[in-house]
Amino acid sequence: MRIDIITVLPELLKSPFEASILQRAIQANLVNVHFHNLRDYTTDKRKSVDDTQFGGGAGMVMTIAPIDNCISKLKAERDYDEVIYMTPDGETLNQSTANHISLKKNIIILCGHYKGVDQRVRDYFITKEISIGDYVLSGGELGAAVLCDAIIRLIPGVLGNETSALTDSFQDNMLAPPIYTKPREYKGMTVPEVLCSGNFPEIDKWREEQAYKRTQQRRPDLLKD
Ligand code: ADE
């Protein structure tokens, strides 16, 4: 998979890709991530990427030309399956969307800033708009990092144990059950007997029951569809 991220703040974005699972996925060539500084696609001396709104109003709007220059250059080099715009008014990211995007070959992610982008960018270049939640961030970069983490970990071979992404919370519309590790007893706090029993059918049953209980208590909405 190849991910091209267009941003005015590449320095804000890079560190999540330089550690742990994302770094290993990149080193193993399971994913290629490229950062594009939008200012490199401007044509004026000031390298401006934004301007005032038509019709008046507070806040600057990202202009179409540098975004067009960058996206067109990338599209001339290869086909893209999706051009994603990170925005608080996009569809809220969930596991199902992450699963779908993780199957794509080439994607572009555009990070918004200021008031957002000129609507014509959204109308003519963007194929998908994603929000990471009902709150407003200073820009799309942290959202893009969240989206990339959610999709990269799903690429086959990225996680050591391939089953571990399948048993994540949300994969079957269910939260994950409680987990424990050694020691078996800590200051009087114990691990449920069944997990130490070696009886795997019983363990599976316990985990399913716990997952259901936790989902019912914390996210009953997940059980509705
Ligand atoms: N940019 C600003 N807020 C955002 C959000 N909640 N999700 C994605 N991109 C954003």
Residue nearest to atom 7 of ligand 1 (CA): 131
Q: What is the DSSP string of the chain?
A: -EEEEEES-HHHHHGGGGSHHHHHHHHTTS-EEEEEEGGGG--STT---EEEPTT--SSEEE-HHHHHHHHHHHHHHS--SEEEEEEEEEEEP-HHHHHHHHT-SEEEEEEPBTT-B-HHHHHHT-SEEEESSSS--SBSHHHHHHHHHHHHTTSTTSSSSTHHHHTSTTTTSSPPPP---S-SEETTEE--GGGGS--HHHHHHHHHHHHHHHHHHH-GGGG--
To test the pocket of ligand 1, the residue of 7, 13, 86 to mutate (highest count of ligand atoms within 8 Å of its CB) is 86
Instruction: Quote the pLDDT of residue 32.
Output: 98
Instruction: Quote the pLDDT of residue 114.
Output: 81
6 Cα: distance to centroid of ligand 1 (angstroms): 15
Instruction: Quote the pLDDT of residue 162.
Output: 58
189 Cα: distance to centroid of ligand 1 (angstroms): 41
- Closest atom of ligand 1 to 112 CA is 1
Digit-by-digit pLDDT tens for the chain (225 residues) are: 999 999 999 999 999 999 999 999 999 999 999 999 999 999 999 999 999 999 999 999 999 999 999 999 999 999 999 999 999 999 999 999 999 999 999 999 999 988 999 999 999 999 999 999 999 999 999 999 999 999 999 999 999 875 678 778 888 889 999 999 999 999 999 999 999 999 999 999 999 999 999 999 999 999 986
- Closest atom of ligand 1 to 136 CA is 3
211 Cα: distance to centroid of ligand 1 (angstroms): 30
Question: For the packed helices 141-152 and 20-27, what is the interaxial angle rounded to 10 degrees?
Answer: 70
Instruction: Quote the pLDDT of residue 57.
Output: 95
Distances (CA, A) of 170 to 91, 95, 180, 217: 17, 6, 20, 15
Instruction: Sort 218 into a burial class: Cβ within 10 Å, 0-12 / 13-18 / 19+.
Output: exposed
Residues with CB under 6 A from ligand 1: 86-88, 112, 131-133, 135-137, 140, 143
Instruction: Quote the pLDDT of residue 170.
Output: 86
132 Cα: distance to centroid of ligand 1 (angstroms): 6
Distances (CA, A) of 19 to 15, 25, 145, 155, 172: 7, 10, 12, 17, 28
Full set of structural domains in the chain with CATH: 2-152 (3.40.1280.10), 169-224 (1.10.1270.20)
Instruction: Quote the pLDDT of residue 31.
Output: 98
Scanning the structure block, which residue is given the tokens 């269910």?
Answer: 174
